[in-house]
Amino acid sequence: MPDTPVTMPRERTDPFDPPAELSRLRDQDALHRLSYPDGHVGWLVTQHSLVRTVMSDPRFSARAELRRLPVRRPSADLVVGKPAPPGMFIMLDPPDHTHYRRMLTGQFTVRKMQLLEPRVTRIVEDHLDAMAASGGPVDLVQAFALPVPSLVICELLGVPYTDREEFQGYSATLASLATTAEEGTAAMEGLFGYLRDLIDRKRSAPADDLISDLIAAGELNEEELVNISAMMLIAGHETTANMLSLGTFTLLTHPEQRAAMLAGQAEVNNAVEELLRYLTIIQYGTVRTALEDVELAGRTIRAGDGLTLALPVANRDPDRFDNAHEFDVTRPATGHLAFGHGVHQCIGQQLARVEMRIAFAALFTRFPTLRLDAEPSQIPLRDDMNIYGVHRLPVAW
């Protein structure tokens, strides 16, 4: 019954598929009542076209103080339920959102990202050289999937990569569902303190990087600079890193798809879109809150109701994609919602695409015999994290 509230399905039976229960709910109805861990009863939006509708309708807010999360994450209590820290525009609505986002869009154009390609290629090749020199086996997460995007976002922002242990630790703590509120506060304070010092140093010694550019533009105060930098640093490496490791796991277990991907650059580019669609790593989706009563798919959403947009199953919607459940690198995969939709659509998507296109092609070209060095069932999955993926990926060649 669509009106009996469900809880957010979490149990996966296949490492690459969303929870079967979530797919079943999508096939049953586009909209379900959803019980939130705080007792609120809101909505679960499961089908592609309805998710798009919600994401492009300004009556559904992304504001932090109105948010409810479908899966409890104690560390998120630090930011959810209170006004967003100044500058964190992912949790703001227009016009505040627009005010901040426009300061950054110029830094992430397709053209700017293309200019980064040689540098990304160098970083990728350096890590593959180190892997080759080690002789293997290696954990691909530590040897490749995490350091490549981490180094790229560090260079772009102007964060010294030598400090990575510090901020990667904070970032991992904040992403874990198991992190307590105290641990989350400590990680957040640690990250903010680290960035505050860095911004101070950049004020006196600016360089050719995004944080220095934001300082030079003179529009942001210290707190806004710290918050925007923190948001970019976290969003910029956890996501792409998990796409690289889970994507490699997928390609290693689908050899015919891997071969099809390697036919040429256009095929690689399409395979990246298909991996984004098929894996949709923002596993609990994104959330919105109704600002007023809204009629949606024949139901009345009341002002204050929370909505959870189930991106992983929206991207497997048979009404939008033929054979939606199959991983097929030759399909037209564009139009997926892995980067969201509407005003909050991922600002870093071109960067993520450049990194994935270069990384997957180079990895499998350099190591044509790359294979898992464990049974697929032994690969530890990130069921316990907000962003899905694998904790480790042992590979040999």
User: Considering the complex, what minimum distance in angstroms separates the CB of residue 51 from ligand HEM?
Assistant: 10
Which residue number, 356 or 370, has a Cβ lying nearer to ligand HEM? 356
Residue 315 found at the interface with ligand HEM (CB under 6 A): no
Residue 90 found at the interface with ligand HEM (CB under 6 A): yes
Query: For residue 382, what are the contacts with CB-CB under 8 A and spacing of at least 6?
Result: 242, 388, 389, 390, 391
Residue 87 found at the interface with ligand HEM (CB under 6 A): no
Helices 349-366 and 265-279, axial angle in degrees (round to 10): 120
Q: Which one among 352, 362, 372, 390 touches ligand HEM, defined by CB under 6 A? A: 352
Which residue number, 52 or 127, has a Cβ lying nearer to ligand HEM? 52
Which residue number, 338 or 361, has a Cβ lying nearer to ligand HEM? 338
Which residue number, 32 or 344, has a Cβ lying nearer to ligand HEM? 344
* Cis-peptide into 95, omega within 30 deg: yes
Task: Please report how many Cα atoms fall inside a 13 Å half-sphere around the Cα of residue 279, on the Cβ side.
Answer: 27
Which residue number, 30 or 62, has a Cβ lying nearer to ligand HEM? 62
SS (H, E, C) 156-196: HHCCCHHHHHHHHHHHHHHHECCCCHHHHHHHHHHHHHHHH
Residues 230-249 that bind ligand HEM (CB under 6 A): 231-232, 235-236, 239-240, 243
Q: Which one among 10, 59, 63, 101 touches ligand HEM, defined by CB under 6 A? A: 101
Stretch that binds ligand HEM, among 67-75, 130-138, 247-255, 333-341 (CB under 6 A): 333-341
User: Considering the complex, what minimum distance in angstroms separates the CB of residue 350 from ligand HEM?
Assistant: 9
Please report, for residues 15, 290, 330, 333, the alpha-carbon distance to residue 315 in angstroms, rounded to integers and kept in the order given: 16, 23, 16, 10
User: Considering the complex, what minimum distance in angstroms separates the CB of residue 271 from ligand HEM?
Assistant: 14
User: Considering the complex, what minimum distance in angstroms separates the CB of residue 88 from ligand HEM?
Assistant: 9
State which H helix or E strand residue 394 sits in. strand 394-396
Residue 346 found at the interface with ligand HEM (CB under 6 A): yes
The answer to whether residues 50 and 296 touch, using CB atoms and an 8 Å cutoff, is yes
Residues 251-290 that bind ligand HEM (CB under 6 A): 281-282, 286
Residue with structure tokens 């992912």? Answer: 90
Contact pattern for ligand HEM over residues 136 through 165, marking x by CB under 6 A: -----------------x------------
Residue 296 found at the interface with ligand HEM (CB under 6 A): no
Residue 347 found at the interface with ligand HEM (CB under 6 A): yes
Residue 79 found at the interface with ligand HEM (CB under 6 A): no
Which residue number, 239 or 257, has a Cβ lying nearer to ligand HEM? 239
Sign of the torsion angle spanned by Cα atoms 72, 82, 344, 141: negative
User: Considering the complex, what minimum distance in angstroms separates the CB of residue 182 from ligand HEM?
Assistant: 26
Integer Cα distance of 168 and 147 in angstroms: 10
The order of strands in the sheet holding 371-372 is 138-139, 394-396, 371-372
Query: For residue 259, what are the contacts with CB-CB under 8 A and spacing of at least 6?
Result: none
Query: For residue 1, what are the contacts with CB-CB under 8 A and spacing of at least 6?
Result: none
User: Considering the complex, what minimum distance in angstroms separates the CB of residue 349 from ligand HEM?
Assistant: 6
- For residue 291, give both structure tokens: 């600002």
User: Considering the complex, what minimum distance in angstroms separates the CB of residue 137 from ligand HEM?
Assistant: 26
Residue 226 found at the interface with ligand HEM (CB under 6 A): no
Integer Cα distance of 301 and 299 in angstroms: 6
Query: For residue 135, what are the contacts with CB-CB under 8 A and spacing of at least 6?
Result: none
Residue 338 found at the interface with ligand HEM (CB under 6 A): yes
Please report, for residues 64, 365, 372, the alpha-carbon distance to residue 85 in angstroms, rounded to integers and kept in the order given: 9, 44, 42
Which residue number, 31 or 157, has a Cβ lying nearer to ligand HEM? 157
What is residue 296's three-state secondary structure?
A: strand
Interface residues with ligand HEM (CB under 6 A)? 62, 89-90, 101, 153, 231-232, 235-236, 239-240, 243, 281-282, 286, 338-340, 344, 346-348, 351-352
